[in-house]
Structure 1
């Protein structure tokens, strides 16, 4: 039976996606919920799991091609169903048809027919209660298994936490729906499954061995041809496929005294290594990428996941162990003040440009080519704010649950100034020949993420105090760095702030994003001697905390005088530093 693989909805505002990489080739076998391909959108990169087990019969969308949500990506032939339709039913019907032709062995086929049908039911997995991925939110359509808390064969109690699942909205534990033994795990760690997908099977303890007998098939398989050679020749070439275990388990119940004897001897010898090799052979793209970035050899990593699967935590631990393995090399740089600089593994390589970098590049080129951009810079003394922050940061962190960085002060000053200078918080509607002056301040905060620069939006920032801005900034930055940001969190900005000084830059000529007319760049805060006009001492030199603020703007709407007035207002608010009440001083 053919199963269609389609592009799922990946967010309310996402209408299309680009296939970046196929993880399976045509003709390869895939398991249900196993990662099948990687898809990139302008908001998020994700893996698409196989909706069913089988053989990847046809790929409809090639790599680097873009399709709309709901489009057909590939076709999977039901790997367990298609061969079963050709072999298992054929065997079941053959004895019935041959019975009249061969009167003497008629009784044997009559008994074998039900024996072959009995194993066919558990061929897809152990019998018991299914553990499925529940709905975890209105817009959540899939989740990734991050950790199994139980292993196959362990006892579980009803409602006992069974596994941990991560989505783009929440991380949670999935409880066991019933008490019993964990018979089978269908979705491995770091694999993604859709809501409603079957994750595992819980049943009675006696049902677990039924699953273990399937790999022990090779011993009985050799006895079966001796009794019915003509009937075993047809399915013999399909021995590696899914129906093979069904044929093997059929004769096992017949010779009750003989079959169990070779089964235990064969099970530890052949199937166990095969299962280990299968787990070691496949790692998720996330783990593979993490290993490449940290120069970790996956062959030397011992997996702690179910069945020995390598998890991202194993790669991180291996990378940390490698850093600590050379104390002599680490001691040499410690003696010197110069930082140790290691050569990047990207040197000398030509790699494919990630989809996210293409999107960022296209947006930047669109902004530069579509606007008349230039930058104005002012210098600001934020000594009062830094002293205020040092006094309040400990109590603030305990009260609000987030750290008090200088960033919320800059955001607060910027949005207050936007209310007085709406020309900087506007949009040019080129098609209509109009200008929209916004009555709300939705501020995009540029965040340096692993995949590239991302800009989540603080909605209604003009209505928030310092604590509200600090909490919202920390929440959005955390979502970006843990890949849990949603498309809705990235849209609707009317103005943007970029803290380029967080990496030590004094100032930067930041680029105004599309559909906006201004962006504020915050430079590094440095201590240096400054001439201060003291009320009693007159002009004197003092060490002050100084920073540069750079406003890039679209000159089609914002004039240099407008930019200067806006920056002056921001400067006055920051240097006045009247934030004591908001931070609890």
Structure 2
């Protein structure tokens, strides 16, 4: 029996993913947990494994296609099994029963409106969508006849409404549920315009929410008759976005439905025609998608109907009718971050579509070209390209919008203030200098100041569990976490991410160094997993990497505190020896600012915590862990 492969949950706020690459093709044999494809989300790039062993029978989501969590990506079954064989066999008995009852059903005034999908031939002038193109006695196009016939007892009542817009009606396109807490979305861009032909599941528009950017597909095939929500308009979940109807129709076509229903009932002559439908039944969707196109030629020969009808059936083109290049939201965001013009990129995806790798390749070429003439600006090139921003106005990208929302919410929720201590890292600097070469050879990672600070912080959190805590304002309860899950802020091309070292209290200094390096590397390459970006109980942010002395970090909710590490600089300070004698010496000094939530941590608590960290670092007793 065939087994569907669906898009699993990839994080608390991830509701969709884009297929970036298929690692297996139809007919390939796969083992349990063998990677089938790669998927990209707004937080992580990951591989989707096969849930069972078997043969890849069908690929349901093409490369560069965006699918929702839970959607079918592929089908795995036994060799020689076909995903399409079982469906027609199961549908056939259901279709025979209505065929036998056709005379009774067509004689009923109640049944005719329910089955109404087209007007009779007398209504041809009012319904130019194509109802009159197939005469009642014409059996040369049974699929079209079955669709047009009000009785449709041969099964078209099941297939046509699901995949095609009803001939006399318009199908509303509504904003679907995009997450548990998402109640509305903002239309960011329409990909189709009024009058455009659309296929089933073809993207109509892009919508942005506070958690995700996504495309809304068409539920049926037909023509875009009406756009109900303009760009930048906010719509509630369930709100109408557009209307899809029969080709050549218009939004008012809804009004003609009652007339069609009223005149449909007394048409018993059409009863023999539905018997022709079972013959083409194995291919219902293809005929239904073409049905609106064929009738258009008779009453509206002046319109290039056939060409328009073929467009949705063909492979998706990278160039839309208005000449603009079509790309997925993920690719567009990446292009913005990399400063790459989509007009200068040649797509290698299906139909010439631009893929994520195309943007990365273009960005790499641009960086190489910029570094060739002058190496001096290389440091500035490490961040996003901002050279052309002066004098312009741009809409904030989604990451910036989310950063604005979350940081503002954090400041509004918690009573935050910052305390700063200065620490002498001279002994740590000497240890690092002494052991860094051997440490690199033995552990495979560089020995920086961060693992020393992380180790001292973890030990301090064990001694001060009130800082490794969270406060619930609704229940007025404080949770003192048993595990120490240490968050580390990492600057990546995608933006600022907070990796999480779970159970950091169980790791040695070398273990912390390896774990931080591994997570940071995978965060920058996009191979990080969702659970490695969540669940932190305390966070460290290294502001010293760009020479920052101290800062006032904003808390990651619901954590109680965040420690910043300033740049280590040499400067003259007053030191006191064992005998109490004071002198001025050059020492390696750094600031340790810590923001804390005053709702559950007091200034004295913060002072005690930072003093513990400071003493541990100034003692520099890490020799045993470095040998």
Q: Same fold (TM over 0.5)?
A: yes
Instruction: Write the distance in 2 (CA, Å) between the matches of 1:45 and 1:496.
Output: 28
| Pair 1:21-2:86 in alignment | no
SS at match of 2:451: helix
Q: Name the Cα RMSD after superposition.
A: 5.3
Q: Tell me the residue number matched to 1:193.
A: none
Offset at residue 569 of structure 1 (A): 0.7
Closer, same or farther: CA 545–8 of 1 in aligned 2, 3 Å: farther
- Residue in 2 aligned with 1:363? 406
* Rounded Cα–Cα distance in structure 2 between residues aligned with 1:382 and 1:281: 54
* Residue number among 320, 327, 336 corresponding to 1:283 in the alignment: 327
Residue pairs, 1:156-555, within 5 angstroms: 233-234=298-299, 236-237=301-302, 239-241=304-306, 281-322=325-366, 330=374, 344-390=387-433, 392-393=435-436, 396=439, 402-449=445-492, 452-478=495-521, 480-481=523-524, 488-531=531-574, 543-555=586-598
Q: What is the aligned partner in structure 1 of residue 622 from structure 2?
A: 579
Q: CA deviation at 1:550?
A: 0.8
Q: Deviations over 1:181-203 (max 9, x none)?
A: xxxxxxxxxxxxxxxxxxxxxxx
Answer 1 or 2: which has greater helix percent: 1
Deviation per residue, 1:540-562 (Å, 9 max, x gap) = 66554322111222334433332
Give the whole-Å Cα distance in 2 for the aligned partners of 1:396 and 1:42.
44
Moved more, 439-448 or 538-547: 538-547
* Separation in structure 1 between the aligned mates of residue 443 and residue 287 of structure 2, nearest angstrom: 55
Structure 1: stretches of 5+ with no match in the other structure: 83-112, 126-220, 222-229, 247-270
Q: 1:489: how far off?
A: 4.5
- Closer, same or farther in 2 for the Cα pair 1:306/1:392, shift >3 Å? farther
* CA–CA separation in structure 2 for the residues paired with 1:572 and 1:514: 28
Aligned partner of 2:604 in structure 1 is 561
Change (3 A) 1:537 1:31: farther
| 1:6-50: CA deviation from partner (whole Å, max 9, x where unpaired) | 64666xx86667446244245444556655554556555555666
Deviation sequence 1:354-386 (CA, Å, 0-9, x none): 444344334333443444433222222334434
Q: Structure 1, residues 192-233: CA drift from partner, whole Å, max 9, x if none?
A: xxxxxxxxxxxxxxxxxxxxxxxxxxxxx9xxxxxxxx9963
Distance 1:484 1:58 in 2: 42
Residues 337 and 122 (structure 1), Cα distance of their counterparts in 2 relative to 1, 3 Å cut: closer
Render the CA deviation track for 1:210-265: whole Å, top value 9, x for unaligned.
Answer: xxxxxxxxxxx9xxxxxxxx99634745644578569xxxxxxxxxxxxxxxxxxx
Distance (whole Å) between structure 1 residues aligned to residue 458 and residue 234 of structure 2: 41
Q: In structure 2, do the counterparts of structure 1 residues 490 and 289 end up closer, same or farther at CA, with 3 Å as the change threshold?
A: closer
- Name which of structure 1's ranges 296-305 and 527-536 shifts more when overlaid on structure 2: 527-536
- Distance in 2 (CA, whole Å) between partners of 1:119 and 1:426 is 60
Q: Which residue number in structure 2 is paired with residue 100 of structure 1?
A: none
The count of aligned residue pairs is: 428
Residues 446, 455 of structure 1: 8 Å contact kept: yes
Distance 1:326 1:393, change over 3 A: closer
Alignment of 1:95-114 (within 5 A): none
After TM superposition, give the deviation of residue 441 of structure 1 in Å: 2.0
**Whole-angstrom CA distance in 2 between matches of 1:242 and 1:435:** 66
Sort the Cα spacing of 1:414 and 1:275 in 2 relative to 1 into closer, same or farther, 3 A. Answer: closer
Q: Is the 8 A contact 1:384 1:575 kept in 2?
A: yes
**TM-aligned CA deviation for residue 572 of structure 1:** 1.8
Mark the CA change 1:358 to 1:243 in structure 2 (over 3 Å): closer, same or farther: closer
Provide closer, same or farther for how the CA distance between residues 487 and 74 of structure 1 changes in structure 2, counting only shifts above 3 A: farther
Question: 2:239 & 2:616 partners in 1: Cα distance?
Answer: 55
- Partner SS for 2:609: helix
